[in-house]
Structure 1
């Protein structure tokens, strides 16, 4: 891990890992809430039982957070995982009515918490770009 990657990887990794650990032992109410919001944005997810969905999200968050925090995981790998996670969150933000102002990217009060996840995408893309540059320089 490059020293310049450490602040983004540590902040994003700790945040995502903590989020996943909190979901891992989530109750039925938490599962229903998270599943309902995700299925509203991505209807195909409605076929997955809420508890199973919550466990899958938790596992993906734990793996992504760990990949970012483990120093020997390449930037490209950690960045790609985080891109998928952040992209899913921002897609949910964009596809959920009432989260952003009509015809605008700017959030409403209800969308503020999710819209802030754009910083995760910024960190992710920075890691991916650096990882691709490293791959290219090794050739």
Structure 2
């Protein structure tokens, strides 16, 4: 069995993991106003969340971010696994971007100045896809040299 993570994955994992872990920890003791704001934004993008209590939603979000951030930071979790989790999480965040018309210019893709904070989640999506795809590829330990024998 190969390594769970490749050395070249670690810069992406460490930076992304630290960012997401910090985000989760900052929501851990969110006040009512913060919880209501986060829940309202998420409910706009994902209407099935509307019936959830804002504090409960924020606690679940916090726990999820803490777990994902820690998994990215710890190389014992395979890159394909954490890449898949990051891709799913970032896809959910991109739902916030695409559900807010004020975040996007008239072409529907490029961010407005107000939408830049949400558009940056596309980077998380790309990092997740890269970790997932590269983590599933067979490891290459070096180039094989094939000698051709001429008779």
TM-score (norm 2): 0.86
- Tell me which of 7, 16, 23 is aligned to 2:20: 16
Which of the two has higher C-alpha Rg?
Answer: 2
Equivalents in 2 of 1:76, 1:3: separation in Å? 14
Where in structure 1 do 4 or more consecutive aligned residues deviate above 6 Å? none
Aligned 1:1-139 pairs, distance under 5 A: 1-134=5-138
Determine the structure 1 residue equivalent to 2:144: none
Equivalents in 1 of 2:67, 2:87: separation in Å? 13
Q: CA RMSD in A?
A: 1.2
Unmatched 5+ stretches in structure 2 = 140-151
Unmatched 5+ stretches in structure 1 = none
Equivalents in 1 of 2:43, 2:108: separation in Å? 23
Number of equivalenced pairs: 135
Structure with the larger helix share: 1
SS, match of residue 50 in structure 2: helix
SS, match of residue 16 in structure 2: helix
TM-score (norm 1): 0.93
